[in-house]
Amino acid sequence: MIQKKTLNFKKTKTNRILYQNKRANFDYQILETFQAGLSLDGILTKMVRNKILSLDKKYVIWNKDRLQIINFGNSNYSQNISLLLHKNEIIEIKKNLQIKGRTCIVLNLKTVGRWIKAEIAIVLGRKKYDKKEYLKQREQKKELKKDINLHNLN
């Protein structure tokens, strides 16, 4: 009896962050994050893959019964892009957007397999004094790590 050898190829999803909103953690307090698909046309897909756009000041709004990223693109070409989410996630984001002081921003763009996904977050804006406090806490954490590392070396 001849036994057939089957090769088990696992489909590994390569996750690669293409863009990251570096000021998001500093300017906002992140409450909740979601991963959403993007409905892009050919030009925007090439722009994302060739890294020709920025995520600064990209907001998510509720427009025409769907969630959209406003002015997605660069200075030459920009569009409002629809987000692809589950219905319960859309309802939850919509409820959070109606609360005063909360907004939804794009944290990063990444590839999951061959798909381009956006990580969006419900956030609260920080005031100037909150930002100063955040910087102090970050400096204290750095000093603690240095002290621990020095203690471990000795």
What digits encode the pLDDT tens for the residues 96-135? Answer: 989 898 999 999 888 888 888 999 999 988 777 777 887 8
CATH number at residue 113: 2.40.280.10
The Cα–Cα gap between 11 and 13 comes to 6
- Residue 105 vs residues 58, 61, 65, 116: alpha-carbon distances, Å: 6, 9, 18, 17
pTM passes above 0.75: no
Q: Is residue 7 part of a domain?
A: no
Q: Is residue 10 part of a domain?
A: no
8 belongs to a structural domain: no
Write down the H helix ranges in the chain. 24-27, 42-49, 87-98, 128-153
Q: C-alpha 63: how far from its chain's center?
A: 20
Give the chain's domain count: 1
> Is residue 154 one of the residues assigned to a domain?
no
Name the nearest CA neighbour of 30 among 131, 104, 86.
Answer: 104
Lowest mean pLDDT among 7-21, 41-55, 61-75, 113-127: 7-21
Query: Does residue 92 sit within a domain?
Result: yes
Expressed as residue numbers, the domain containing 40 is: 15-126
On whether residue 90 sits in a domain, the answer given is: yes
Task: Evaluate whether residue 147 is within a structural domain.
Answer: no
More confident residue, 13 or 96: 96
Q: Specify the pLDDT at position 37.
A: 92
pLDDT reading at 4 higher than 60: no
Q: Is residue 82 part of a domain?
A: yes
